[in-house]
Structure 1
Amino acid sequence: MMWNIVSDSSCDLRMAGWDSPSVRFETVPLRIQVGTREFLDDDNLMVPDLLDAMAAEKSAASSACPSPAAFARAFEAGDRTVCFTISSNLSGTYNAAVMAREMVLEEHPEKQICIIDSKSTSGAMALLIYRARELMEADTTGDFEGICNQLRLYQAALRTCFTLENFDNLIKNGRMRPLVGTLLHSLGIHVIADATPQGTIHVADKARGEAKTYRAITALMGASKDCTDAHVIVTHCENLAGAMKLKQQILEDLPVKEVEILSCRGLTSFYAMQKGLIIGY
């Protein structure tokens, strides 16, 4: 019986880096429309090309969730599938995956498929995928429901926060006034936000300069949960230097177990923009 982990591409993990001999993994790509160009968020997408296109395009870019058919093809490849999606409050991806589950079970009622709304994106989704792989590789009884229940509990304990330096996408999409965005950028002010338990975005703080921003992030992390022995993932949008500095600040301020650094794929780059950082923990 083949275990199968499926995620949309906002998890920021690449299929090429998957190394489990007993658990299959597939990401289903979202799409990003920039003017007349469409970018498929798969392993081949070059993020700098996407960012350059967004910067050059005067109109707002948009994103589109995968089709139910795309999810269905991924579900059909395994016997027992757990699928993680970006927050259902940010995208229609969760609904597309649920529709795909019904499509597949109608044709293959023997398959087991669980859809879990991550209520988040990026690092938190990657942590869910890591935990799912760990549970599946250790499983000896085929306890599908037991594993799904453990993953739901784990999802509820995860947290996400992020910081932005570039506000162009927010301005073009009408979510921030141009004057405000220009002022924030010129003053070197970073917006710090977190994800609510419902999967919506809450602006938690603002800080001026890198050092104050990173200290504000660790303060927010420590206030939101007990971070003892936590696995933290920092995802960066073309900002490895900033991610490394934030990693060091987290290790200094919080009793975490480890801090892993990933680079944003297309969808998270679309939201985070140049130099954005997303923290899942």
Structure 2
Amino acid sequence: MIWSIVSDSSCDLRVSDFTSEKVLFETVPLRLQVGAREFIDNDELDTRELLTAMDAEKTASSTACPSPAAFARAFEKADRTVCFTISANLSGTYNAAVMGREMVLEEHPEKEICIIDSKSTAGAMVLLIRKAKELMEADTQGDFAGICDQLRMYQAALRTCFTLENFDNLIKNGRMRPLVGTLLHSLGIHVIADATPQGTIHVADKARGEGKTYKAITELMRGSKDCEGAHVVISHCENLAGAMKLKEQILKDLPVKGVDIISCRGLTTFYAMEKGLIVGY
């Protein structure tokens, strides 16, 4: 019996960082269009090259979700598959995965495929993948439905927040007025936002300077859930120093179990931009 975890590439976990003797892992890449160039969000993508291209491009860049066929190819490789996607309220990726599932089940009705909307992205999806791996490796009864139920409950308890310093992409895509973006940047103001339970984005706060920003993030985390024993994943976009400082603040302020730091993949780099930090917990 072959178990598999599939995710779209917004999860920030590289395939090369996943090891298991029992469970397969695959990411289905999104595509990023910057001017005439297309970037495929796989393990080989150079995020620094992506940022440089976005900085040089004067027009709005865009993203495209994977095709149903791409998900179907991933689902065909195992007997039992759990798939996590970026929030369905932010992308059509979830719907593509559902269509891919139906394509496979038409030909292979014996396969079991569960699609879970993470209602988030980045570190929260990493936590879901790690939880799925743990449950699959411990399973001795082949309890696929039970594992999927546990993962849905775990997803409902996860939270995401993030902070931005660079607003160029928001401005180019018409989501922020140039004057506002310039003013925020010149004043050193960081926007702090979180994901709602429905998977939409809510601007929660603004802070001036790193120290106040990281303190505001831990206060937001404290107010959103009981963080006792929580696992935390910080994704950073070319900002390891900032991620280390935020980790220190989280460990100081909150009773979490541990904090891991990973670098953004292409999709999260596209939206977080340079120095952006995304926290899944």
Q: How would you bin the TM-score normalised by the shorter chain?
A: over 0.9
The amino acid across from 1:16 in the alignment is S
Opposite residue 145 of structure 1, the aligned amino acid is: A
Give the residue type in structure 1 aligned to 2:66.
P
CA distance in 2 between counterparts of 1:67 and 1:237 reads: 26
Q: After TM superposition, where is structure 1 displaced by more than 6 Å over at least 4 residues in a row?
A: none
Once the 2 structures are TM-superposed, how far is the Cα of residue 227 of structure 1 from its aligned partner? 0.2
Query: Aligned partners of 2:63, 2:227: CA distance in 1, in Å?
Result: 33
2:4 aligns with: 4
Q: 3-state SS of the aligned residue for 2:135?
A: helix
Q: Measure the CA separation in 2 of the matches of 1:180 and 1:108.
A: 53
- How many residues were matched structurally? 281
Deviation of residue 175 (structure 1)? 0.3
- In the TM superposition, residue 120 of structure 1 has moved relative to its aligned partner by 0.1
Distance 2:228 2:197 in 1: 20
2:172 and 2:117 map into 1 onto residues whose CA distance is 28
The CA distance in 1 between the partners of 2:95 and 2:159, in whole Å, is 22
Q: Distance in 2 between matches of 1:213 and 1:202?
A: 16
1:155 match: 155
Paired AA for residue 32 in structure 1? L
Match of 1:278 in 2: 278
Q: Deviations over 1:51-107 (max 9, x none)?
A: 000000000000000000100000000000000000000000000000000000000
The 5 Å alignment of 1:1-281 reads 1-281=1-281
Give the drift of 1:207.
0.0
Whole-angstrom CA distance in 1 between matches of 2:181 and 2:78 = 46
Cα distance in structure 2, aligned partners of 1:17 and 1:187: 38
- 1:116 is displaced (CA, Å) by 0.1
1:11-68 deviation digits (Å, cap 9, x = unpaired)? 0001011111100000000000000000000000000000000000000000000000
Deviations 1:187-231 (A, max 9, x none): 000000000000000000000000000000000000000000100
User: Percent identity, aligned pairs only?
Assistant: 80
Rounded to whole Å, the distance in 1 between the matches of 2:218 and 2:16 is 31
Q: Structure 2 CA distance, aligned partners of 1:98 and 1:17?
A: 26
3-state secondary structure, aligned to 2:227? coil
For 1:43, what is the secondary structure of its paired residue?
A: coil
Q: Distance in 1 between matches of 2:230 and 2:197?
A: 18
- Cα shift readout 1:157-189 (whole Å, capped 9, x = no counterpart): 000000000000000000000000000000000
Q: Distance in 2 between matches of 1:17 and 1:205?
A: 33
Question: Mind listing any 5+ residue stretches in structure 2 that lack a counterpart?
Answer: none
Amino acid at match of 1:124: A
Distance in 2 separating the partners of 1:68 and 1:188:
42
Per-residue Cα deviation, 1:130-155 (whole angstroms, up to 9, x for no partner): 00000000000000000000000000
Q: Which amino acid aligns with 1:184?
A: L
Relative to the length of structure 2, the TM-score reads 1.00
User: For residues 243 and 20 of structure 2, what CA distance do their matches in structure 1 show?
Assistant: 27
In structure 1, stretches of 5+ residues that fail to align are none
Q: Equivalents in 2 of 1:138, 1:35: separation in Å?
A: 47
SS where residue 120 of structure 2 aligns?
A: coil
Q: CA deviation at 1:125?
A: 0.3
Cα RMSD of the aligned pairs, angstroms, is 0.3
Q: Report the residue type matching 1:155 in the other structure.
A: Q
- The whole-number CA distance in structure 2 between the counterparts of 1:149 and 1:230 is 20
TM-score, normalised via structure 1 length: 1.00
One-letter amino acid matched to 1:143: D
Given residue 209 of structure 1, which amino acid in structure 2 is its aligned partner?
Answer: G
Counterpart code for 1:162: F
